[in-house]
Structure 1
Amino acid sequence: MKAFAFVFLAGIAALTGMPAAADPLLEVAEFADLTAGKDPIILDIRGDAYAKGHIEGAVSAPYALFRGPDENPGQLVPVDQLETTYEGLGLVMDRPIIIVSEGDSDNDFGAAARVYWTLKSSGFTDLAVLNGGMTAWGQAGLPLDRNAVEPQPSDLDITWDNRWTADTQEVADVVDGKRQAVLVDARPPEFYEGKQAHEVAARPGTIPGAQNLAHSSFFQSGSTSIGQVEDVAGLKSALGIDDGEEVVSFCNTGHWAATDWFAMSELAGIENVKLYPGSMVEYSQTDNEMANVPGLLENLLNQFR
């Protein structure tokens, strides 16, 4: 199936009223008003950059805490391990959580989206991503704090909600015709076409029947802030999504796919969108059928392109 690119956004429109508390996307200009009196937990997922300056009160929660091992970075973190992490970060269910990444590229947004997806699947409901992250914060001339925050440990009982998760067997069942779903490859076209592969993927190529909707399609050229999805009907039509039909977003390691998931599920409000966390790294390491796999000669040539 031929890859396509389609931009489903019209930029970030100015808001005319107070956004809802559970709005998944928070603009820097709205931050002070939206968080006033709400005592949000601010998770800074940048890692070492936290020490160089962060939003006052933010807790350091490096992205790596929400990722799998080197051989399968997209792999789900065990629930008991996530629970321990959340408790160490002082997370509680009755406080809003704002996720802050660097925001310096459309690639970086995937980190915030993946953390958002992980928290939502863990039962947290009042979640938002700071659009543009610390890059937008700095461009707005807002203050930085260099005092590290020591969170008060919490006590949680976490269970994983599978409503937004697809696993390898489920994806293989779609390929085999045993399950119905629209498969969406969030990678740049060169990955989808088999011209490039992740360093720990066993094979280049994509999942048979998948359509290509690169994560960057949801960003205006040169922007590091994601756009609102305004033409939802056009998006669904382009991908062939029927109302209520299952959609599975994947990439190499569930990073870019998290952006597509966030845009389709949280911004466009499309029901039944799932993220395949292990994505092509995990899928390529199985014996399952793949598409767009280059021949031996083409594979050798691709290594020198």
Structure 2
Amino acid sequence: MRPLIEAAEAAGAVRLDVRWTLGGPSRESDYAAGHLPGAVWLDFDRDVCGPVGAVGGRHPLPDPEPLQAVLRAAGIDDDSHVVVYDDGDGMAAARTWWTLRWAGIEDVQVLQGGLNAWTAAGLPLETQAPQPKPGTVTVRPGALPVLDAEDAAAWAEERELVDVRAPERYRGENEPVDPVAGHIPGAVNLFLGEDDLADTAGLRERYAAHPDAAFYCGSGVGAARTALAVTEAGMPTPPLYIGSWSDWVARGREVATGEES
């Protein structure tokens, strides 16, 4: 199954609204102002990610039990078809897709273009919050490959570790979020832009040259969008260092700057 779905194909699915802004307030008021019919609101930071600690990154993995409770409250069963959407940049939606896949839920897709594509297609929104019948899904974590800091360091030495942040962040010239600038020693840079998700042929050509790559970003959100792109290109979903740069620097690990040779 393709991980991306067009607006006209999204009928009959459990719909999850995960609109989110990095460092911004909750988008629940936007959900209340208008969302896809039947869509359930999930707070990305609270419901999709785990609590932030001293290490683990800014968007750590959730614990299975609270994640399962959230998904059951949204009406998800083990065999449900789930469609996730955000505004359209694919960031929060891709990380939610990845998290649900990691949790053992197979039939999950991201609405390509998000809410913007839905409304551009002339499809309706609603303001009433649904009251879904509680689901019976069982969260089974570990269905997708995950790296920790030690794994990421070894991957950079032995295979190919790819940093998908903007080039200036990778080189350490600008770091708007985390307290230390730079990249993991040995990692290479391959930035994924928002518009690249729509170019399936280009994605296939781009990532076919990196068949053994694992990916990271600032906090595991952009890396999940890259995993979505790789999967959309018809290749296996790659390993992610889900704690990413925010976990790496919190652990006081060695930092590189500039370009790798």
Calculate the TM-score normalised by the size of structure 1.
0.74
**Which of 70, 81, 103 is the equivalent residue of 1:96?**
81
2-side partners of 1:128 and 1:122: how far apart? 14
Query: Residues of 2 paired with 1:275 and 1:146: CA distance?
Result: 36
Alpha-carbon distance, 1:149 to partner: 0.6
* Alpha-carbon separation, structure 1, partners of 2:219 and 2:81: 27
Tell me the CA shift for residue 252 of structure 1: 0.5
Distance verdict in 2 for CA 1:231–1:156, change over 3 Å:
closer
Tell me whether 1:227 sits opposite 2:199 in the alignment.
Answer: yes
Amino acid at match of 2:195: F
User: How does 1:174-185 map onto structure 2 within 5 Å?
Assistant: 174-175=155-156, 177=157, 180-185=158-163
> Which residue identity lines up with residue 279 of structure 1 in the other structure?
S
In structure 2, relative to structure 1, the CA distance for the partners of 1:160 and 1:113 (3 Å cut) is same
Q: In structure 2, do the counterparts of structure 1 residues 232 and 141 end up closer, same or farther at CA, with 3 Å as the change threshold?
A: closer
CA 1:181/1:152 → structure 2, altered by over 3 Å: closer, same or farther?
farther
Map of 2:14 onto structure 1: 41
Structure 1 residue aligned with 2:255? 290
Taking a change above 3 Å as real, the CA distance of residues 181 and 80 of structure 1, as seen in their structure-2 partners, is: farther
Question: 1:203·1:285 contact (CA, 8 Å) conserved in 2?
Answer: no
Cα contact 2:101–2:144 (8 A) shared by 1 = no
1:73 aligned residue (58, 72, 86): 58
CA distance in 2, matches of 1:253, 1:40: 29
For residue 27 of structure 1, what is the aligned residue in structure 2?
Answer: 6
Q: Distance in 1 between matches of 2:43 and 2:185?
A: 34
Q: Which runs of 5+ in 2 are unaligned?
A: 20-26
Aligned to 2:95: 114
Q: Distance in 2 between matches of 1:68 and 1:158?
A: 14
Contact 2:228 2:237 in 1 (8 A): no
**C-alpha deviations, 1:35-75, integer Å up to 9, x for none?**
3xxx3101111241110111111111222211244563221
Per-residue CA deviation, residues 206-256 of structure 1 (Å, 9 max, x unaligned), is 01121211121x615xxxx6332446345333xxx35xx3x2111111111
Structure 1, residues 156-181: CA drift from partner, whole Å, max 9, x if none?
33221253321112112234x4xx33
Report if aligned partners of 1:198, 1:281 keep a CA contact under 8 Å in 2. no
Structure 2 residue aligned with 1:255, among 195, 215, 221? 221
CA distance in 1 between partners of 2:85 and 2:38 (Å): 12
What TM-score do you get using the length of structure 2 for normalisation? 0.86
Please say if 1:61 is aligned against 2:9. Answer: no
Counterpart residue type for residue 275 of structure 1: L
Q: What's the CA shift for 1:133?
A: 0.8
The CA distance in 2 between the partners of 1:125 and 1:274, in whole Å, is 17
What letter is aligned with 2:6? E
Q: Identify the residue that residue 136 of structure 2 maps to in structure 1.
A: 155
Q: Is the 8 A contact 1:23 1:127 kept in 2?
A: no
Match of 1:213 in 2: 190
Q: Secondary structure at the match of 2:220?
A: coil
Q: Is the 8 A contact 2:163 2:216 kept in 1?
A: yes
**Which residue matches 1:296?**
none
Q: Distance in 1 between the 2:81 and 2:14 partners?
A: 6
Whole-angstrom distance in 2 between the partners of 1:74 and 1:140: 32
Q: Name the residue aligned to 2:233.
A: 268
**Identity fraction in percent:** 30
Q: Partner amino acid for 1:147?
A: Q
Give the letter aligned to residue 226 of structure 2. Answer: D
Gaps spanning 5+ residues in structure 1: where? 1-21, 294-305
Residues in 2 aligned to 1:249 and 1:226: alpha-carbon distance in whole angstroms = 20
Q: Which amino acid in the other structure matches residue 84 of structure 2?
A: I
Whether 1:203 and 2:180 are equivalent positions in the alignment is yes
* Contact 1:110-1:257 at 8 Å conserved across structures: no
Is contact 2:192-2:226 (8 Å) kept? yes
Q: In the alignment, which residue of structure 1 is the partner of 2:24?
A: none
Distance 1:143 1:193 in 2: 44
